Amino acid sequence: MMFESLPSDVKTFMDWGWGQIEPYYDELAARELNATTVDQWLKDWTSLGELINESYTLLFVATTVDTTDEAATKRFHSYLGDIMEKMEPKEQVLREKILASGLQPPGFEIALRNIQTDVNLFREENVPLFTEEQKLSNEHDRIIGAQTVIWEGKELTLAQLKPIMNAAERPVREQIWRLISERRLADRPALNKLWGQFLELRLKMTKNAGYENYRDFRWQQFKRFDYTPEDCLTFHEAIEKVVVPAATRVYERQRRKLGVDSVRPWDLDRDDVHPSSRPPLHPYQTVEELESKAEAIFRQVDPYLADYFTTMRREKLLDLDNRKGKAPGGYCTTLNRSHRAFIFMNAVGVHDDVQTLLHEAGHAFHAFETVKLPYNQQRDVPIEMCEVASMSMELLSAPYLPASQGGYYSAKDAARARIEHLEQNILFWPYMSVVDAFQHWVYSNPQDALDAANCDEQWGKLWARFIPGADWSGLEDSRVTGWHRKPHIFDVPFYYVDYGLAQMGAVQVWRNALRDQANAVRQYREALALGGTRSLPELFAAAGAKFAFDAVTLGELINLMETTIHDLESVQD
């Protein structure tokens, strides 16, 4: 058969041109499709998709590990135009073919629903626009990745300044914070210009697809069948009612610890929201130590999952250290053909690095479990469930942070790390509400949002609504441009409420683990293995959680988190 000639090696396939790939699509389109042939047909479609997707992923990764590598960027952009754009119409033909067949393979019900959505959304004129959107994202990464400052005679990235800032006395922290803020504001015109390009492009996509507004279009792209934009607004209200008071209590504790009149941005860290360690925690000296202790923690959580991380270390599928020219943030991506995952982050020696690695490892474990499903379309997992996988792993790993359990800290420092993590989780919900509500405003008022000054004003209003505990007086320019510091707003619009909903699920998984660790981890793994073969509420239920937006459920979780913080504080006394 023709598909037996497909290369097994992705690096070989990456050199193929469209002329070599297209015949495989044409063969699938021409092949008879019936109850007898559908399994092999889907497997062959999966094999082709795995090769194309992993080629895309490897080329994308190369642009993030070194944003100054012009050759890597050029090759990625060429792949977008030469392969990905030409692939999409061919994918549409195959999607239409499986729908027209009327076949319903076992475990493929949700996949068929998703395929129908993709068919409905597809417009050939949007394909090059998606390519242009990816290029704009690369430009955004380039702008942020180039942000450095001179501190004590050395050029440092903004991430490299974090541990220095956390260790410094308050006047020096303020000095560093202002230096960072000044550097960020220097890119204000460039980011505002880029924002306008993003927004105009998305409005054009929306019109091409026949939607009245981008929010409705994006909802379908994300395949959000189980909740609505109005549910998100209800979630914001529940957070304002239940979480904002708890978050304000966190800020007040921070103020008392510091012995100051008010909490200022230089008393915070991570999006200028979360309290920084005082003095900072020092979890590791080298990236190797960061990796090895994480592996020991995963071994305590679940040896089966830990084996995945061991594989990633052995096969060099981790790029963790921060360096100049590296794209900001962290991510985990799936290597579909290799049945592996790759973790990217910017470690600088602070506790946040530990949390990021635990988080991204949860995504990696999900990827390892999901790629076992036979068909690509079954691996299309709702983003909210992807984040349950990652956020749950942070909480499931928390008891093993002490060195006595293979982790990083003394018992006292481990308790402190857990307190800070739970406080960050509490503070995250209001911040998530700012980001999500901002995007609802943008795409409900796109013409107003084309003017960055209006975006600044709206961000400022939302900040005052959800984050009243920090004092930004005299720093208005930095406060109202906070939307510049959230890459999701530029690169993946509406991908943020997912974290808030996922945290609802993750805290419930953790609550289950407090009662029965083994059973909670078993349910967690079973839910990951389902991939995208169930609805979102069913996936939450499989993990032992309820998919919810309401203030009552949220209040129960906040009570557990605050009670645990109180109990952990006794370890520090």
pLDDT band (50, 70, 90) for residue 23: very high
The answer for 450, left when phi > 0, alpha when psi is -120 to 50, beta otherwise, is alpha
Q: Which of 394, 392, 379 is nearest to 543 (CA)?
A: 392
Is pLDDT above 70 for 393?
yes
Tokens describing residue 554: 């949220």
Looking at residue 573, its pLDDT comes to 61
pLDDT digits (tens, 9 = 90+) for 241-263: 999 999 999 999 999 988 999 99
Helix, strand, coil shares, percent, the chain, to 5: 70, 5, 25
More confident: 473 or 163: 473
pLDDT digits (tens, 9 = 90+) for 453-464: 999 999 999 999
Q: Which of 505, 234, 239 is nearest to 382 (CA)?
A: 505
What value does the mean pLDDT of the chain take?
Answer: 95
pLDDT digits (tens, 9 = 90+) for 299-308: 999 999 999 9
pLDDT digits (tens, 9 = 90+) for 545-558: 999 999 999 999 99
Question: Does any domain span residue 16?
Answer: yes
Looking at residue 514, its pLDDT comes to 96
pLDDT digits (tens, 9 = 90+) for 365-391: 999 999 999 999 999 999 999 999 999
Percent of the chain with pLDDT strictly greater than 90 = 92
CB atoms within 10 A of CB 105: 18
Domain encompassing residue 25: 2-105
Question: Does any domain span residue 56?
Answer: yes
| CA–CA separation, 313 and 291 (whole Å) | 8
Question: Does any domain span residue 551?
Answer: no
Burial class (CB in 10 A: 0-12, 13-18, 19+), 75: middle
Is pLDDT above 90 for 276?
no
Question: Does any domain span residue 81?
Answer: yes
Instruction: Assign 275 to helix, strand or coil.
Output: strand
Q: Where are the beta strands (DSSP E) in 310-451?
A: 318-321, 331-335, 340-347
Question: Does any domain span residue 196?
Answer: no
| CA–CA separation, 443 and 121 (whole Å) | 18
CB atoms within 10 A of CB 259: 7
Looking at residue 36, its pLDDT comes to 97
Is pLDDT above 90 for 279?
no
With tokens 């006394």, the residue in question is 573
Question: Does any domain span residue 80?
Answer: yes
CA atoms within 13 A on the CB side of 325: 9
| CA–CA separation, 335 and 313 (whole Å) | 15
Looking at residue 73, its pLDDT comes to 94
Structural domains of the chain, count: 1
Rounded to 10 deg, the angle between the 497-515 and 383-397 helix axes is 40
Question: Does any domain span residue 389?
Answer: no
In one-letter notation, the amino acid at residue 19 is G
The pLDDT of 463-490, averaged and rounded, is 95
Looking at residue 367, its pLDDT comes to 97
Is pLDDT above 70 for 51?
yes
Question: Does any domain span residue 28?
Answer: yes
